[in-house]
A and B are shown apart, each in its own frame.
Chain A
């Protein structure tokens, strides 16, 4: 069975989705979704072990060999990211049950979980496939499911947020499709490995250039890289919090992976960075992202929106790592994909707990929350410390590696700007923590009513992520080891 794992990775969650619709029962469909996700996580884990053992896996779907059929290509980079997606999705699903049953009418639950399953399937498919057109297909699967998930939000603005994302997401997806079309025209293949071989010798370099531009812009939109992030803050703010926690940990990360795959494996580092000076675009976008968006985050009054802007800023760090196109820089970017996913997912889960009890996430009204929800607040602080990059959190591992990589390149200014942006994170996280801990609640507030923690079914998954994050914050060499290996493989091209 082990040789069929790549197909199972996608199939189980994909098939579980219609089953949910058939069942139409809230609890059962949740259980199906959760089971399928856990299984997907296990498969991803086996795949990662297998890849580390035997090297990259090429799997012909349905037995049709590469140029005719669709090929799945799995190496360390995408095995790790599939595992991340399935892992975050499983944990957040566990958490989602209580959160969703309060926020969404019970009759619609089965649809919610079906959409969730499709979304996970799409995301994992994007990552695992070795076929450029298949990337687009899965991208659409996940995007459509995402629009649906966002519109489940109980705030009516969720609909406009979803619509806005739909427009921008479709623009991004169309750009990617156009880019892939041009690539096909220029090379006559859609298989990534073949593409990588044929692009340098293609007769129509102009078509390749056009393809490159379309794909770059399309993926940057999907990844919410500054200044193409406009869809993200509203979507994160108004979607059901469980969805936000899931998306923040996975959706943008998957798009960043697509960026990596196309720039480094398909087009090759020489082409992207050597001939086209891609870092001339990526670096300013990254710097603008982490500086400006951190600054914007400082002034937000809604906790979800603040974290959303912080997400755009953190994506900036990741892109900054990519733009170095060095092994150290790539490793820093990849490790931050994982680390930020863990941090942000757990932060949004903490926000979900707050909303569950308090009913809103308006920062100035969270006064003295620590007295009422100590466990949630501690989880928030631990993850918030990770956002700042305080030692013993995963954020420190990323930041140290990223600054080290920048200094290796001799990019002193970048190193300095990263530090300044970390200090902004101190302000926006510190502000919230100060209100939670020290602000005395006003007259007639609920603070005196004693402790009112979120239910255990929400706290346990949240702490599971927090503890995983702490573990990788202390034993950072484990994630960094995988990231370094992944970076080497990316720079080496397809084997």
Chain B
């Protein structure tokens, strides 16, 4: 199927959102669900085409004299598209419960921007060249800006400035020149196996500069020092944080980086020029430091945000290591981390809706009141840490294994150290919830069940279950990754 179809459901649903509006919100949400399911089926059909040996692609639009907008499906993109569309459906179910339970305002604007962002994510997933990817990247930035400033207060406005400021500055200041530079020296801007820079004649130093522009220009990947936008974005409603700032937006960042390393540079060029060695320490630094920062955060969403920054840099490291194994691990980690982290965010939102608590220090004993939520939180945390029986273990193993190919154990030890830190900052939360006494209860008093709305719970259970499922049955993903053409 033509990947252009993947843009249709999220865009087609916008008139429905606008027309149905606040007054007929049930129908509005039904229309979004229908669009979500349609989008997932379209992605599934693209996946089927790809597995059958086809290369689904769209027509072209001549945006510039020699460069076009074009979509085509390759394994990484299909995986990302499937992931984002599946989680869009789940998040919609969740936000139905959340937005009403929390009495959010301006829900029409919220769902509209959400849909535009999703369309842009599809554009990024199926981008056939750097230009298309850049266009999608910027549309994501702009369409998610109103979501970050959703609450409209002074804090939200300030956060919005940080968000737009960092993402715009880096994308215009670094990413755009990187793309123009690639256009002037490379054979094209297309994503082709083995890359377009092999015969560019760039010296190793210039190659490192170019890679640096990409690494720092794609601030959505959250590498330090351009990570501040992500914690700032946490003022947004939880479904936004969950889908966009744990999955769609940040994953677009690391996905772009993986694609650029594989199809613009080519993994052999990255390794051969030694360009990545300058940025691997930065990524490793981000992994460790943001884990430590996460440790100090008492606000649950802030802690999860820093955990996300750390986990994203796993993928940045995987891309920069540029071995087949590590990049495969990076691609797999996009999915594994997505399911783990979205579960955690869903739980954070559920706690906020049900108990109006957002600080970790106040979560003592809530496991008795919200057993399902906190149980799911535990599973999500295990997956993020990378322990069996959750899917996160496979991707972490692959990245670590790939890093050993470089002949040093530094990068593997960074990953292991980070794992320990993950345990230290994530596991205490469910432990507290289940084993510490609830301070609001008199001794001997029994806690009453006080779960989040059922729509939220369904979403949480589904994503937590998927974390477990991916441990025992990651084959569909690994098969897809097996189709990536590296050279």
Residue among A408, A423, A438, A474 making CB contact with B152, cutoff 8 Å: A438
> Given A389-B172, A438-B152, A478-B62 in contact, is the A404-B135 Cβ separation under 8 Å?
no
Chain A residues whose CB sits within 8 angstroms of the CB of B157 once the complex forms: 434, 438
Residue among A385, A391, A474 making CB contact with B61, cutoff 8 Å: A474
B173 touches A480 (CB 8 A): no
Nearest B residue (CB) for A425: B172
A397 touches B176 (CB 8 A): no
> Given A403-B180, A423-B168, A423-B173 in contact, is the A480-B61 Cβ separation under 8 Å?
no
Docked Cα-Cα span, A420 to B68, in Å, equals 26
Chain B residues whose CB sits within 8 angstroms of the CB of A400 once the complex forms: 64, 176, 180
B-side interface size class: 20 to 34
Residue among B62, B165, B168, B181 making CB contact with A407, cutoff 8 Å: B181
Nearest B residue (CB) for A392: B135
A476 interfacial by beta-carbon distance below 8 Å: yes
Which chain A residues (445-495) contact chain B, with CB distance < 8 Å?
474-478, 480-481, 484
B176 touches A401 (CB 8 A): no
Residue interface bits B139-177, CB-to-A below 8 A is 1, else 0: 100100010010010001100110011001100110011
Chain A residues whose CB sits within 8 angstroms of the CB of B176 once the complex forms: 399-400, 403, 419
Overall SS of chain A's interface:
helix
In the assembled complex, how far is the CB of residue B120 from the closest CB belonging to chain A, in whole angstroms? 10
Docked Cα-Cα span, A399 to B131, in Å, equals 13
B184 interfacial by beta-carbon distance below 8 Å: yes
B63 interfacial by beta-carbon distance below 8 Å: yes
In the assembled complex, how far is the CB of residue A81 from the closest CB belonging to chain B, in whole angstroms? 19
A13 interfacial by beta-carbon distance below 8 Å: no
> Given A416-B177, A419-B172 in contact, is the A391-B65 Cβ separation under 8 Å?
no
Chain A residues whose CB sits within 8 angstroms of the CB of B146 once the complex forms: 437
B138 touches A390 (CB 8 A): yes
B134 interfacial by beta-carbon distance below 8 Å: yes
B183 interfacial by beta-carbon distance below 8 Å: yes
Overall SS of chain B's interface:
helix
A227 interfacial by beta-carbon distance below 8 Å: no
A419 touches B65 (CB 8 A): no
Docked Cα-Cα span, A423 to B165, in Å, equals 9
A430 interfacial by beta-carbon distance below 8 Å: yes
Residue interface bits A150-176, CB-to-B below 8 A is 1, else 0: 000000000000000000000000000
Chain B residues whose CB sits within 8 angstroms of the CB of A331 once the complex forms: 65
A415 interfacial by beta-carbon distance below 8 Å: yes
A423 touches B65 (CB 8 A): no
A415 touches B177 (CB 8 A): yes
Residue interface bits A418-429, CB-to-B below 8 A is 1, else 0: 011011001000
Which chain B residues (174-209) contact chain A, with CB distance < 8 Å?
176-177, 180-181, 183-184
B139 touches A391 (CB 8 A): yes
Of A385, A400, A401, the most chain B CB neighbours within 10 A belong to A400
> Given A391-B139, A403-B180 in contact, is the A475-B63 Cβ separation under 8 Å?
yes
B168 touches A404 (CB 8 A): no
Docked Cα-Cα span, A135 to B408, in Å, equals 72
Residue among B63, B156, B173, B184 making CB contact with A419, cutoff 8 Å: B173
In the assembled complex, how far is the CB of residue B270 from the closest CB belonging to chain A, in whole angstroms? 22
> Given A391-B135, A416-B177, A422-B172 in contact, is the A401-B149 Cβ separation under 8 Å?
no
Docked Cα-Cα span, A478 to B64, in Å, equals 8
Which chain B residues (55-108) contact chain A, with CB distance < 8 Å?
61-65, 68-69
In the assembled complex, how far is the CB of residue B432 from the closest CB belonging to chain A, in whole angstroms? 37
Docked Cα-Cα span, A388 to B141, in Å, equals 14
B172 touches A426 (CB 8 A): yes
Residue interface bits A211-222, CB-to-B below 8 A is 1, else 0: 000000000000
> Given A390-B142, A426-B172 in contact, is the A480-B181 Cβ separation under 8 Å?
no
A392 touches B168 (CB 8 A): no
Chain A residues whose CB sits within 8 angstroms of the CB of B65 once the complex forms: 331, 401, 476-477, 480-481, 484
A477 touches B63 (CB 8 A): yes
Chain B residues whose CB sits within 8 angstroms of the CB of A474 once the complex forms: 61, 63, 69
A392 touches B139 (CB 8 A): yes
Docked Cα-Cα span, A331 to B169, in Å, equals 26
Which chain B residues (102-144) contact chain A, with CB distance < 8 Å?
134-135, 138-139, 142
Nearest A residue (CB) for B68: A477
Docked Cα-Cα span, A5 to B176, in Å, equals 43
B64 touches A477 (CB 8 A): yes
B180 touches A407 (CB 8 A): yes
Docked Cα-Cα span, A103 to B246, in Å, equals 53
Q: Which 9 pairs from chain A and chain B are nearest by CB?
A: A477-B62, A391-B135, A480-B65, A403-B180, A407-B184, A391-B138, A404-B180, A476-B63, A438-B157
B interface list, Cβ under 8 A from A? 61-65, 68-69, 134-135, 138-139, 142, 146, 149, 152, 156-157, 160-161, 164-165, 168-169, 172-173, 176-177, 180-181, 183-184
Given A391-B135, A438-B149, 15 other A-B contacts at CB below 8 A? Answer: A403-B177, A404-B180, A407-B181, A416-B177, A419-B172, A420-B173, A426-B168, A434-B157, A434-B160, A437-B146, A437-B149, A474-B61, A474-B63, A477-B63, A484-B65
13 A-B pairs within 8 Å (CB atoms) are namely A390-B138, A390-B142, A392-B139, A403-B180, A419-B172, A419-B177, A423-B168, A430-B164, A438-B157, A440-B152, A474-B63, A475-B62, A481-B65
